[in-house]
């Protein structure tokens, strides 16, 4: 793994791949890693507008549910930017709300294809390059609901629980090759998705947010940059003895 030069940024000399790079959390991560000196490949679905303009950011279209798309995109990134030191699997969807018996088979398939299969495929096709250099850091986006249950979106929770355990399994498998694998667990975040939910809530936005985060030790939503800084720690050499860990960034939601 390329070592950071003191004073040159915490990611100087590194190449990072970030999926979901045009979403709120992904774009904050892309921007921060680039500002900290990394060459960043920002990956997202075709048609999503680029979210970050930076000379060190390159945009790529990808369908994380398609092995051919993932394999081709990762090969292009390696050819253009070099061997990736970091993979951030931030792409994900939440799906329709409702208990299990109200969901449809296509809901199940779509959620697991994007949230779980996508993480696995990106790892499968990025790890070989990391194995060659015997170093790397993989950061998978799970959720607080990969740790706790909840009645609103059980299929989403199930996918994030799967990501949590895939992270630990890959950490065990690749640690001997210098590859670290950790998961990020965001709480309620100030994102476009959250704002849409608040606007559509029958109880009104103010009551919705009070219900959502009012009981937290830190009674507010998190900001995307706060997730990005957590990713930065796990991506940098500062976390070189951290693997198989769950970094929870939730305002204390899981503490009470």
pLDDT digits (tens, 9 = 90+) for 179-223: 999 999 999 999 988 888 788 778 888 888 888 899 999 999 999
- Extract the tokens encoding 192: 């476009």
Would you say residue 5 has pLDDT above 80?
no
Q: Which of 156, 174, 209, 253 is catalytic?
A: 156
Per-residue confidence (pLDDT) for residue 235, from 0 to 100: 98
Least confident of 15-29, 46-60, 192-206: 192-206
Active-site annotation holds for 209: no
Q: Which CATH architecture has domain 15-255?
A: 3-Layer(aba) Sandwich (3.40)
The band of 248, judged by pLDDT with boundaries at 50, 70 and 90, is very high
Per-residue confidence (pLDDT) for residue 73, from 0 to 100: 98
Average pLDDT over residues 29-38: 98
The band of 100, judged by pLDDT with boundaries at 50, 70 and 90, is very high
Per-residue confidence (pLDDT) for residue 150, from 0 to 100: 82
């Amino acid at each position: 793994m390329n070592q950071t030069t003191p004073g040159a940024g915490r990611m100087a000399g590194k190449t990072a791949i970030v999926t979901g790079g045009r979403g709120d959390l992904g774009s904050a991560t892309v921007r921060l890693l680039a500002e900290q000196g990394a060459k960043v490949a920002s990956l997202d679905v075709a048609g999503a507008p680029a979210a970050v303009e930076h000379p060190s950011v390159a945009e790529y279209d990808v369908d994380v549910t398609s092995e051919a798309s993932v394999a081709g995109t990762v090969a292009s990134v390696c050819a253009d930017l070099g061997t990736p030191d970091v993979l951030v699997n931030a792409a994900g969807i939440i799906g329709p709300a409702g208990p299990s018996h109200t969901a449809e088979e296509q809901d199940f398939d779509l959620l697991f294809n994007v949230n779980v299969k996508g993480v696995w495929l990106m790892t499968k096709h990025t790890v070989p390059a990391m194995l060659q250099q015997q170093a790397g850091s993989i950061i998978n986006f799970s959720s607080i609901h990969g740790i706790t249950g909840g009645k609103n979106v059980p299929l989403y929770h199930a996918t994030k629980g799967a990501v949590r355990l895939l992270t630990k399994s890959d950490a065990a498998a690749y640690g001997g090759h210098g590859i670290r694998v950790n998961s990020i667990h965001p709480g309620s975040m100030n994102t476009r998705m959250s704002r849409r939910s608040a606007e559509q809530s029958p109880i009104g936005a103010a009551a919705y947010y009070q219900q959502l985060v009012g009981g937290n030790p830190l009674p507010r939503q998190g900001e995307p940059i706060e997730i990005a800084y957590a990713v930065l720690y796990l991506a940098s050499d500062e976390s070189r003895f951290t693997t198989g860990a769950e970094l929870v960034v939730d305002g204390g939601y899981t503490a009470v």
